[in-house]
Structure 1
């Protein structure tokens, strides 16, 4: 699959979600195609930010939205490598803007069918879940002839030193999965991809439609 998988899936699902938002009062900003990808740099064609650049970029975009009159922003993330940085940067965004901001993975609020596919895949990267959606949306970007090679990934610590699973360290994905596939995508198909696309879009729309999405803690308590 191409290196643009996260960008393509996230943008398509965001646009599909806006069509389900009541009143359709949502603007989808251009997708930020680069993020925190140091763990993928051993693979060709990869670009990455460091944390200060990522922070500066997002903050500039948020301030631009604020100056254009927006007051509420949902940052929909499509790349797992961005999650720790986004979590760490949220206090900065709250301090340096007056925006009400939420962050979510595009599949964060999905239901049983997506979760079951993620569970069956038992992997972390380029797995059945992502591959099936790519086959449904952009099949020309997936090399079907190599689908049976789409399996791999190993973490010896999990088997030989399970106590070390309680710690965290940086590792190149190429060392964990030489093909880039960490898990098993061999059962992926376009037919399997349609359901999670619809469910991801629907769940994201339901989150945006929720009456309490923009209330802070004090406001939520007063609404009880």
Structure 2
């Protein structure tokens, strides 16, 4: 979905993809194809948005997991880049686990969901880089990560207001009314490639550390 006047449409799936593939080069990790369509109904007021219903997304996550489990994967880790996905992915996990609970069978795999911005050290780094205007959508941190990976797509735009307003997230029309240019609480113009490099490096370290903990559970 949209990411304000400066961000790429695919920002929320690009960020975890960029981080995961960078981590794959440094750790014992196998990265699956990116699941790049999720819960973006509140962005449908902006052109280019594609969204799934919660029931569709849950079914797709379950089929994704069961397909991998069928081939012997017993540790399946979802690195997420979109806050709107969280509730539905967690509900899908609960639905998957419950099928084994009701059948009185042991589940042959374990699942983990982690937002890339919740990786160890990232919130602290973002607060240092952006003490004001980080926000929660079209943030300078996610814009910086994508600009670093795709420097040919770096762009600038006027921000009005400089720091976007905050508010609740509901339906698409309400979202467009509250956040006319798509941003929530952020000043996307703060993003730089140098910051993106620092964020990616820190995210890679945090991801590898979290995966090691997950593997040991």
Alignment TM class, shorter chain as reference: 0.7 to 0.9
Residue of structure 2 in register with 1:141 after alignment: 153
Q: Which runs of 4+ in 1 moved over 6 A?
A: none
Correspondent of 1:114 among 114, 121, 126: 126
Correspondent of 2:181 among 179, 187, 196: 179
Residue of structure 1 in register with 2:22 after alignment: 16
Whether the aligned pair in 2 keeps the contact of 1:76 and 1:105 (CA below 8 Å) is yes
Structure with the greater alpha carbon radius of gyration: 1
**Cα deviation 1:23-57 (Å, max 9, x = unaligned):** x2x21110011000001000000000011110111
Structure 1 stretches of 5 or more lacking a match?
159-167, 216-224
Residue of structure 1 in register with 2:12 after alignment: 6
Q: TM-score, normalised by structure 1?
A: 0.80
Cα gap change, 1:36 to 1:150, in 2 (>3 Å): farther
Q: CA deviation at 1:9?
A: 1.2
Residue of structure 1 in register with 2:84 after alignment: 81
Partners in 2 of 1:70 and 1:118 — Cα distance?
A: 39
Correspondent of 1:102 among 112, 115, 126: 112
Correspondent of 2:33 among 30, 33, 50: 30
Cα gap change, 1:32 to 1:141, in 2 (>3 Å): same
Q: CA deviation at 1:150?
A: 8.2
Residue of structure 2 in register with 1:65 after alignment: 68
Partner SS for 1:107? helix
Cα gap change, 1:133 to 1:149, in 2 (>3 Å): farther
| Count of residues paired in the alignment | 199
Q: CA RMSD in A?
A: 2.2
Structure 2 stretches of 5 or more lacking a match?
1-6, 100-106
Q: TM-score, normalised by structure 2?
A: 0.82
